[in-house]
Amino acid sequence: MNSDTRAAVGDRIIVRGTRPGAARRDGEVVGLHHPDGSPPYDVRWSDTGRVTEYLPGPDAQIHHFRHEEDDRPSSAGRHPFAD
């Protein structure tokens, strides 16, 4: 399995149409079926608000959501009241 197809809750899925005139869709991953983030996912689509099970194809891209906490240095091993 390609690591690019793994997702986490909160990631964004963008599906580009492969045929002329096909609409682009995007949605938010709201649920996972596997703990490692492999497909399929439950996606809430922005155009309809519906949640469906989705198995990404070659026309899909996953944009990974970064939490603000990811940018902060780790405080592991430090006392919570330390300077």
Give the residues across from 28 on adjacent strands: 12, 44
CA 35 to chain centre: 13
Q: What is the pTM of this model?
A: 0.72
Q: What is the pLDDT of residue 22?
A: 79
Question: Starting at the edge strand that comes first in sequence, how are the strands of the sheet with 51-54 ordered?
Answer: 51-54, 41-45, 25-32, 12-15, 60-63
Name the one residue in this structure whose structure tokens are 């045929």.
19
pLDDT tens across 59-82, in order? 999 999 875 555 445 445 544 444
C-beta of residue 11 within 8 angstroms of C-beta of residue 63: yes
